[in-house]
Structures are given as C-alpha cells and as structure tokens.
A and B are shown apart, each in its own frame.
Chain A
Amino acid sequence: MSKPTRLRIAGGTVYDPANGGGAGGAGGADGVVRDVCIEGDRIVAELPASAPRLDARGMVVMPGGVDIHAHVAGSSVNHARRLLPEEHAADPMPAPRLDDGAFARSGSGGTVPSTFATGYRYAGLGYTTAMEAAVAPIAARHAHAELDDTPIIDAGFFVLLGNDDYLLRQLGAGEAARARDYAAWLLGTTRAYAIKIVNPGGVEVWKGGGDRRNVSGLDEAVGSSAVTPRKILEALAGAANALGLPHPVHIHCNNLGQPGNAATTLESMKALSGQRAHFTHLQFHSYGGAPGKGWASAAREVIEYVNAHAEVSVDVGQVMFGAATTVTADSPVEHLLYASSGRKWVNVDIELESGCGIVPYAYREKAAVAALQWAVGLELFLLANDPWRVVLSTDHPNGGTFLSYPELIRLLMDRAYRDERLKGVNQKLLAGSALLDGLSREYTLGEIAIITRAGPARLLGLTTKGHLGPGADADVTIYASDPDRAKMFATPRHVIKAGALVVEDGRLRRAPAGRRLAVRPEYDAAVIKDVKRFFDQYACVAFENYGAEPVA
C-alpha cells in the first residue's frame, strides 16, 4: 500500500469557526495563523516536519465550501439544460488540462452547466460539497447518473415528498407511522440524503386540474379535507426528526414569489415550532403586500422570527442581477411566471409524485420586483443574528448561478460597495426596506466562513465537513487575500479535495471523482407490502425497478 499523501498548509490565516477559530459571532474575530496538516484524505493534528509544505503565509485558509441548496443534477435540471442551447453556445468550456495526465472533459456553462462544467466550476470556486435540492423519487436513478458525471464535489440530493400520492394517502388515513416508514424506505431506495417539501399540497392540486390551480393557505384541503399543507409539514418534519436524519426536513413553503407570502412563511414556521426544520430560499418567501395590491419587503418580520427560534434554520436564496433559470418542482408558480413573462416554459407533471416547471429568467436592476427581491435577500443576511442558521445560497440557478457567490460575498462584506449598488436599483418598492435605513453591518471573513461552509455542514449533519479539526475531510480552500472580496472568493489560489490538490495556483489540476452522500434510515418493513399494493394499482414502473439500487 502506498504511503498516504501528506501536506502541511503552512502559515496561513485559518478560519475554522467550528473549532473556535475565527468564529467571532456577530462581532467577528480574525483568523488564527496556524498550520493545517493533511494525511491521505483527512485532516490530522500534526505531521513530521519533513512533510511536504504548501506555503500559505498571508493567505486565507478555510474548509471547502458547502452548498446546502442548488439544482445541479437530475431530470428537472436536464430538462432545463435541453431548453437552453443558446446559453450553452455562448459559454463553451474546453476541457481543462490536468496535471496527472488524466482525461478531462469539455462542456458548456450558462445558468445550467453541463455536469463536468458543474464539478469543475464548483471546485474552481472553492466549493467541495453540494446538495441537489429536488429530485423526484422516480427519477433518482437519473440524478445519480448525473452526479457520477459531476467530478470533484461530494454530492447528495433531497428527495421530493411534499406532494407524493402515497404519502398523502397515508396522511388522509391518519397513518402517521406508515407515512414515516414510507419516507424512510424511500430515502434508502432512492439513495437520497434528506426529505424535501416543495409547496406542500400545491403541486398535487395543480396536477389535479379543474378550477383549483394551487393551494394558498396552510389549512386548505388537498383532496381529502384530512390532508392540508400543515399536515404535510407536520408529518414530514416529524418523520425527519424521528428518523434521526442528519438534515431536518428541507422546506420550500407555499406561495413562493407571491406578495404577502411572509404570512404563510411565518405560519409554516410556527406550525413546526419546537421542531428542527430548514426553510429554504427564504428570500422568495419574505414579501409583504398582498396579491393584486403590490409588494413590499417583509424581511425584518421573517428574520426576527428566525433569530428568536433556534430550531429554525434557513438559506437565503439571494437574487443576483443578471441571467437565471427558474427550475423548480413548484410547477404552478412556473405557470404564473410563464404567463406573466411570455418566456419559454417547460412543465412536466411527474406521475404520483411531483412536478417540474422551468422558465428562463433575468433579474434586472431597473425592474421594481427584481430590485425588491435583491434587497429582501440582503436584508435577511444583514438582520440575521446567528450566522450558523442563515446560509448563503442563490437557489442556483433560480436566483442566480453559484458563480455569483463571490459577488454576493462582496455585497455582504463591503458596505460602501453595497450602498453604491443600491443607488442603481429601482427604488419603487423599497420603501419599507431596512436596506434604505442604512444597514451598516459588514460580514467578517469568519462569518463568511460560517455561512458558506461551517454552518451548512453543521445543518446538513456532515460531521467531517465544514471544519479543519483532526478527522475532518481534507477539503480545504486557500484564498489570496484581496480587499476586493468578489475577486478573492472567485479565484481561490488552491483548493484541496479529499487530500488532492485540485486547484493549484488558480488552475484546475486534478479532477477526482466525488463521493455520494446518502442515508439509509431504519423502518418497519411492513410498509413495503402496502407500497407494493399501491404500485400494483397505480404505478407504471415495476416496484422492483423503482429507486436507484442496482438490480442486476
């Protein structure tokens, strides 16, 4: 057996908030100048002085970035890719030249890059872990195949359950235990990482046809009156917690993008009061006003609730100006966006499980709603008290692509820059926004380390990620310090993934395969008999062929 690779990252300023370095809280503390030692694919406490050294003096050392919510692989993402040939033509990616002579792949970018481009570009950004946020169970096999072709990053996905026909039947019948067993079985058979809810009940209503197009409130009936968005939230949050999943239920609330939806968001949070739950792309759910009566920011109200409730975590889903592609299981929302924008639109109703909607989009500074969305996201960040529970995300590629994270970091760290940008945006709907009151907060590097790696790793329950203590995965990003934080975070000097130097002097040098992150909770196998009966009645995929396990 060959000796494990050793590397001493020497003399860098280390931000490792999970282990007390650079944690700082809201006040912010500087990093600590120390060495980080790597042996094989792990961080170790010490190495012999003779171990190879990487001189990091004057540089900033952080754990590899962790994306808690992005749309990067699977059938919906591939539908979006297929829809965007013009973007891919405009952003070609030749194969990088790798150091070890390995065969690298070309690809294409745009808002929904090809799989290889996705892996390379995440690594080039210093991110080494990403979670695909929405996979329909029936398409799990597809998502895994794409992740197999997404190099470097460790990845997992969240499986969609909030509009699942079998699950809703169990809730309607009051079979809470069976619903929990089903969720556990489904997680295992699809090799998923967490439970995802998207617009609970709303997609089912949209698919049902007839006069109703969506649900708008937590207590609206979905089919039978025993099933409501509230019941779905309660059941799946309870299941995730009872099963001891590493990540709690991951919730995309009802009424995404609607004026006045902050009330629904707060009601959803209160419905799960006392239970761990993660509320995703909160920005899209923090609007005041009312449908037909205009928009306003309700960021303060929403984030104050989050601040006061330690069981709640969120990611922001910041909107960044420029091109985006909205791709979501929240298909009724995409129909509204299609109708109002006149852009091209994909809808795919997914049998017995979920939906998929896609509309390419662009957020413009001069557009009043886009400017409001941008401001709401920044307010959420700047008014958050606990960075451990408020994660950086753009809901890639919905609010902007992951390549815009460095620009977002600059907006958070550099008040003068932010104020300058604020002057350039449409002010029409910003009247109630805290941004106009001159929010002076500037994120510290320690806080950035929390919201981009330590925090999401902790919320995902990835105990060996997001920190640099002994035993942690050797995923490390090293930045050359630069007062222009966008530049600094866009082009890390070195990136180490599982002990391999994947980015060296700013260039991609190696592209090892990433690992899959998945859970396999225990359940009462009695549920399988019942699920099989359901399959016999309604499914048109054999039970034995369902999921993502190898069959032969």
Chain B
Amino acid sequence: MIDRPVANVTCLGCGCACDDITVVVKQDRIAEARNACALGVAWFGDGTVPAETRVNGRTAPLERALTEAARLLTGATRPLVYLAGDVSCETLREGVAIADRLHAAIDSLAATSATAVLAAQRRGRAGATLGEIRQRADLVVFWAVDPSARYPRYGSRYAVEPRGVAAPQGRKDRTLIAVDVGEALGPADADGRLAIAPADEVDSLEIMRATVQGRTVGEEARFRTAVELARRMTEARYVAIVTDGEPGTPSADPARAEALVTLSQALNAPTRCALSTLRGGGNRSGADAVLTWQTGFPFAVDFARGYPSYQPQAGAAALLGAGEVDAALVIGTPATLPLPVATALARVRSVVIGPRASAATFQPAVAVDAGVAGIHEGGTAFRMDDVPLPLRPSLEGARAALVTVRALRDRLGP
C-alpha cells in the first residue's frame, strides 16, 4: 500500500464524530490523525488490530468459528446480543436481525445514557443538531459538565468557538455560563458561573422553570442565583443547555434528566432553547437509531416473545446479573463494554465478533477479530445528535465486521 493521507475521516472516539480528520498512513500504519484531539488520537492509534480467530481460546479457521458460534447461539435458551462500540450501522442492522432470528434479548452501548433517553420518552425534548447550536446560540449554559474532558472538540467545533450565522464573531458573540453542581464543574473559562448543591439541583431546575413560566417563586437565598440565571436565559435569543448524558457525576437521577428537559422546553415560550445531551463514541447513537427503526425501541429490547418488547429496567446488565442469559453474542469492541456487562459475561458462553475480540477479558468461547469501523471499514455512523456520517477506511487488510456478522446471520437460517 502506498503511503498517503486520507481526508475527511470521521472519528468515533467520542460522540462528537468529528469528520475533519486527516489520517496519514505510513507503511500500513496510522502515523498521524491530523485535527484529532487526544481522545481521537488514542482511538485511531496506529491502526493495528489483532487478526485472530479463536474457538475456546485456540486458533481456529473462520468457518469453524462461525459454525461453533451458530451452534452455541441457536442452542441457547436465553441468548443475549450486545451491540458494542466501533461498528457501523450496516453491521448493527445485521446484529439486530440476528437477535430477531434468535428471539434473543438485545441491548447496546446506547443504554449508558438510558436516563436521558427515558426522560425524553416521558416528556419529549427541545433539541437541535450540534451545528444549529453553532449557528444560533448566544447563551450557552454548561450544566454540571465541562465537555473538554470527554468531548474535547465540542467547544471548538460546535457550541463555543466557531462563527455561526447568528454569531458572526463566534465566541465573542456568546455568553458562557458554568453551572457547578457539587464536584461536577462547568468549563473554567466561562463568563459567569454559579454553584448548586447536588441536593438542590432538581429543585433549582424546577424553580428556574417556574421563573421562565412567570410563576411566582419563593425568595429562598439558596435559589437566588438560579432564578437570576433563568431570567437571563429568557432574555437571550437562543439558549443552549449542555448536559452530559453519559454516566458519572452527577448521578443518573430520572427527576434531574426530566427537569432539564422540561426547563429547556419551557424556555421555548419566551425565547428559543435547545438541550444538548452529550453522548459517548463508538457509534452508540447509531445503535440507538438502528434499534429504534427496526424495533420501535432504542435499547433494552427483548425478542423472546417473537416480537420486540421494551425492557428498560431489564437490559443486558440486569439479565446477566440475574443469571438469566446462557449465551451471548457481542458485536463490536469488547473493551467498550460497560464494566458490569463485561464482568458478567465471564460467567456465560459468548461469541465476540469485532475489533480486538480476541483481547476480550471475559474469555469468549468464540472470538473473531475484525477491523474498526472508520479505520478499516466503511459504512455509516451517527453523531451524538443523530446526524449520519459516512465512515472512510484508511487502512486495508483487516477482516470486515459486516461481512463476518452477515456470514453468521446466514448460518442461523431463516
């Protein structure tokens, strides 16, 4: 292969899905990922992936591995399919088809932001694609999150720095407010900040909503700054509230997630507002979208009855924890699995197809290494705001996850 740069590559290192990366390939390795942040550089790495095929820990031909995988899965009484990170939507579609065929339970990395998804299912949401926040927002409120840690280029590509249609001077045309909730701090360089005690967070959001709606609120001193912020929001032209949908501090409190939704909705009476819920990488938003269009539900789906049913309280972690699952198929990079899922998988027979499958810590019965979507394989991935982006492979040679998963599907028969 000739050394060359590949431009306009989409990075799946986090949910920002920056598609302006130039990957420089030298001697079949990634030498540089230009424009990528530290997370992105780590995600691309040097592009080398193992190419093992293993059955019960021993190297085996692919045919045998697929036959064994099919035998294991079709013989299970309570199979689970888990859609992990770093696979394309095209591969995910095949994964859902397998779960449907097996009458399996299926879950995905999208479940990590279940609290935000469930709040949006109860109340809806007022949102925007990231680019529209860039175009419009004159007041950006970072609610207990500093995106620079887990979403490093969020500020430079979307909400803060870039020039927008209604923010021709970029950062200068925007006011940034950091809301610090306990230890969860907003950005250090905000134009203003306020601190809210974690125990007061939901009440603060409710009082802010009451303020926005012109309802009288008490004059308690501890809510004074929140009320001031609410008033300031109503005076802005277009408010963006940025919150982290992924786990961590603060806790995944359903009331908090719902209060953020209803506040952002209420702000659309006096002005405009979008809630931007940050989500992680690996194309987990693609898993959410694919599962939704194929089944009607975004995560934690169970095909046991021969049709999809929604079990948001009994997703993969719960089923595995309860010892219900007797065989699992993981599609994607095992290292992206949430810890409880990875830990519990050690107790069941499993098949892993995906990047670095052979490095899975839970000792799968069948491990088939494949390339990384976006590095070795093309297809489609979704940004955290559901904008679809094409994937551009920069390296050749790795086994394609799509072809492999499809081959497994074909072996399961109609």
Q: List chain A positions with a Cβ less than 8 A from chain B.
A: 73, 75, 77-79, 81-85, 87-89, 92-95, 98, 101-108, 110, 112-116, 138-139, 141-142, 145-146, 149, 165, 206-210, 335, 338-339, 344-352, 358-359, 537-542, 544-545, 550-552
Contacts and interface: CB of A to CB of B under 8 A. Distances in A.
24 contacts: A82-B292, A92-B308, A95-B100, A95-B306, A103-B101, A103-B414, A106-B306, A114-B308, A138-B387, A146-B293, A149-B293, A207-B136, A209-B236, A210-B271, A347-B126, A348-B129, A349-B132, A538-B163, A538-B165, A540-B157, A542-B8, A545-B19, A551-B378, A552-B393
B414 A101 contact: yes
Contacts, number: 220
Among A79, A94, A115, A541, find the residue whose CB has the most chain B CB atoms closer than 10 A: A541
Given A82-B121, A209-B136, A552 B289 contact: no
Among B166, B293, B307, find the residue whose CB has the most chain A CB atoms closer than 10 A: B293
Nearest to B392: A552
A77 B296 CA distance: 11
B131 A541 contact: yes
Given A141-B389, A142-B380, A346-B124, 7 more contacts: A114-B295, A141-B390, A142-B386, A208-B166, A208-B272, A345-B126, A349-B274
Contacts of B349: none
Contact of A114 (B90, B117, B293, B380): B293
Interface in B68-111: 89-90, 93, 97, 100-101
Contact of B120 (A83, A113, A115, A141): A83
A359 B268 CA distance: 15
B358 interface: no
B135 A352 contact: yes
Contact of A345 (B124, B136, B392): B124
A261 to B, nearest CB: 22
A344 B122 contact: yes
Among A106, A141, A538, find the residue whose CB has the most chain B CB atoms closer than 10 A: A106
Given A103-B97, A145-B380, A149-B294, A540 B131 contact: yes
Contact of B414 (A84, A102, A138, A139): A102
A347 B165 CA distance: 20
A142 B90 CA distance: 11
Contact of A85 (B123, B124, B294, B310): B310
Given A103-B101, A344-B122, A347-B268, A545 B292 contact: no
A4 to B, nearest CB: 25
A96 B265 CA distance: 41
B307 A142 contact: no
B296 A114 contact: yes
Contacts of A89: 309-310
A112 B305 CA distance: 21
B298 interface: yes
A352 B131 contact: yes
A79 B127 CA distance: 11
Interface in B379-403: 380, 382, 386-393
Contacts of A358: 124
A83 B310 CA distance: 13
Contact of A350 (B100, B132, B294, B305): B132
B362 interface: no
A94 to B, nearest CB: 5
A209 B237 contact: yes
B289 A78 contact: yes
B137 to A, nearest CB: 9
Nearest to B166: A208
Interface of B: 7-8, 10, 19-20, 89-90, 93, 97, 100-101, 117, 120-132, 134-136, 138, 157-158, 162-166, 236-238, 265, 268-269, 271-272, 274, 288-290, 292-298, 303, 305-310, 378, 380, 382, 386-393, 413-414
A139 B10 contact: no
B387 A165 contact: no
Contact of B309 (A92, A116, A141, A550): A92
Contacts of A550: 378, 390
B310 to A, nearest CB: 5
A151 to B, nearest CB: 12
B134 A540 contact: yes
Contacts of B129: 138, 348-351
Contacts of B306: 94-95, 106
A351 B130 contact: yes
Given A149-B293, A210-B237, A551-B378, A88 B386 contact: no
Contacts of A142: 289, 380, 382, 386, 388
A539 B8 CA distance: 13
Nearest to B414: A103
B83 to A, nearest CB: 15
A542 B10 CA distance: 9
A145 B388 contact: yes
Contacts of A359: 124
A145 B157 CA distance: 26
A525 B171 CA distance: 35
B131 A106 contact: no
Contacts of A102: 414
Contacts of A539: 131
B240 to A, nearest CB: 10
A344 B124 contact: yes
A138 B128 CA distance: 13
A347 B39 CA distance: 31
Contacts of A350: 128-129, 132
Given A88-B296, A345-B265, A351-B129, A83 B10 contact: no
A141 B380 contact: yes
B295 A108 contact: yes
A449 to B, nearest CB: 32
A213 to B, nearest CB: 9
Contact of A552 (B135, B158, B391): B391
A349 B129 CA distance: 6
B296 A110 contact: yes
Given A106-B100, A114-B293, A207-B272, A82 B309 contact: no
B269 A88 contact: no
Given A78-B293, A165-B165, A351-B129, A542 B305 contact: no
Contacts of B390: 141, 545, 550-552
A113 B293 CA distance: 8
Contacts of B126: 345-347
B298 A209 contact: no
A350 B162 CA distance: 17
Contacts of A538: 131, 134-135, 163-165
B413 to A, nearest CB: 8
A226 B125 CA distance: 34
A107 B389 contact: no
Contacts of A551: 8, 378, 390, 392
A316 to B, nearest CB: 28
A108 B8 contact: no
Among B8, B128, B269, B307, find the residue whose CB has the most chain A CB atoms closer than 10 A: B307
A36 B405 CA distance: 43
Contacts of B89: 145
Across the A-B interface, give the 10 residue pairs with the lowest CB-CB distance, nearest first: A351-B131, A88-B296, A552-B378, A108-B296, A349-B128, A344-B124, A209-B237, A92-B307, A209-B272, A209-B238
A540 B158 contact: yes
Contacts of A83: 120-121, 124
Among B7, B130, B389, B413, find the residue whose CB has the most chain A CB atoms closer than 10 A: B389
A541 B387 contact: yes
Contacts of A82: 117, 120-121, 288, 292, 298
B389 A545 contact: yes
Contact of B132 (A98, A108, A345, A352): A352
Contacts of B8: 542, 544-545, 551
A145 B391 CA distance: 14
A103 to B, nearest CB: 4
B293 A351 contact: no
Nearest to B10: A545
